[in-house]
Amino acid sequence: MMASPLQASPAAQAARILIVDDDHAVQVSLALLLKQAGFVTRCADDAAGALALLAGEAVELVLQDMNFSLQTSGAEGLALLADIKRRHPGLPVLLMTAWGSIALAVKGVQAGAANFFTKPWDNAQLVALVNATLQLAAPAAPARLTRAALDAQFDFAAIVGEHPALLRVLATIGQVAATRAPVLILGESGTGKELVADAIHRNSPRAAQPCIKINMGAITPSLFESEMFGHVRGAFTDARADRKGHVACAERGTLFLDEIGELNRADQVKLLRVLQDQRYQPVGASRSEQADIRVVSATNCELAELVASGEFREDLFYRLNLITIRLPPLRERRADIALLAAHIVAAVAAGYGLPAASITPQALAWLSAQPWPGNIRQLKQTLERTLLLKGASQLTEADFLAADHADASAAAGSRLGVDGMTLDQVERHMIEAAMAQHLGNISRVAKSLGLSRTALYRRLERHAIKPADSGPGA
């Protein structure tokens, strides 16, 4: 039997939660809410009291304020978080902060906190967050994760690597896939967010149903409702037949909202209604429809910072990020570069009908030392270009350097010679050059061309230019 939104989940029954806040009213309010939900609570007024209690008593979760005195820099909260993570590495911490200090909470999450919530809080959302955090923190997993053990339980096809940071991501995917909890995937461009969304769907009870993928930055505001919710015949000019929207197409499956940070505020409200009520209304229809969907979203923005700046609705943010998965950039998992390179080279050779190729140890060392700001997408582009230019069965460091030089020369030459081109051809030429220069990073391409992301997506669609895939890995 499922727990109600204001009850502890069966796995979290009687979990002990430490509340750390110097405001007695906050302590009482949280303790009462959590007690009613079936948890056991302890309270501490400051960092010293919290650390003393943790040293003498077993606790499964900490709810921690960011400030314990008149100062509001958050330094005390970050220091306590660091002490907790050092002394109790496996203990999850949820940070609580005022709405105007969300950017500070983001620093805490980056420093190891499981998540954060704002004051005042929504009771049902907070209990759901506590339940989800406890479930993620309490798996009966082996002391040391291995890729072989994870692969024996779950299907992680196309995700290549065995770095500990990646294994933690895979373990989280395995835990949350079986639920219908909304998941927010954060990571730099090219880290493989779409592959993670695929893995969540593939390992879920909804795997037999469709996973509908939508690039939110590519939907123009005037078409948002029609694209997402569909329309009936005659709803507007050119609506010559009924059309199912993305939500209806994802019925009983998964809706993947990529580039969710690009959604404008007016459309954020429309999406929020669907997530809150699980109902939607096609444009021109007289009645609403039920939506049975699991929502997974992704962005390379720090969504909480957009909330702090007023660009993204706080209520929608909390609807989307019950579970947050942060993907490590490639520079933080360099040990996986050799595995990724071998996988990519084999796939490229097979795709182009070339003989199998290998990479020399010296070349692998060179690849592992590069900064890879474009992450796996950039690595894939480098390997593919070098293999096609070299056409040999073994790639050396010299081959990669020569291909880099040839690419730089070609890029320099491409800036010249637009004589005889139409305006449309020049625009396409400039976009393709910018896409190559910035390794498909849409934000950087848009900025370099002086366009908004939405305007760039419209031009990509018009010129039939497909944004680069993120490639294998996570």
Phi-psi region of 155 (alpha: psi -120 to 50; beta: other; left: phi over 0): beta
- The answer to whether domain 417-474 has CATH 2.40.70 is no
pLDDT at residue 302, as a whole number: 86
pLDDT at residue 463, as a whole number: 84
Looking at domain 330-416, which of 1.10.3720.10, 3.30.420.40, 3.40.50.150, 1.10.8.60 is its CATH number? 1.10.8.60
Every domain of the chain with CATH number 1.10.8.60 lies at 330-416
Per DSSP, the residues of 287-299 read S-EE---EEEEEE
Every domain of the chain with CATH number 1.10.10 lies at 417-474
Fold of 10-137: Rossmann fold (3.40.50)
Round to whole Å and give the CA distance between 388 and 344: 13
Every domain of the chain with CATH number 3.40.50.2300 lies at 10-137
Series of mean pLDDT values for 10-residue runs along the chain (474 residues):
55 82 93 94 94 94 85 82 92 84 80 87 88 76 76 94 95 91 93 96 96 92 91 79 92 96 92 89 89 94 86 90 92 96 94 92 95 93 91 89 67 51 76 83 81 80 73 67
Phi-psi region of 120 (alpha: psi -120 to 50; beta: other; left: phi over 0): beta
User: Which residue bears the tokens 């950017």?
Assistant: 103
pTM of the predicted protein model:
0.77
pLDDT at residue 216, as a whole number: 92
Every domain of the chain with CATH number 3.40.50.300 lies at 147-328
pLDDT at residue 107, as a whole number: 84
Locate all alpha helices (DSSP H) within 278-396, ordered by sequence. 303-308, 314-320, 337-352, 361-369, 375-390
Beta bridge partners of 196: none
CATH class of 147-328: alpha beta
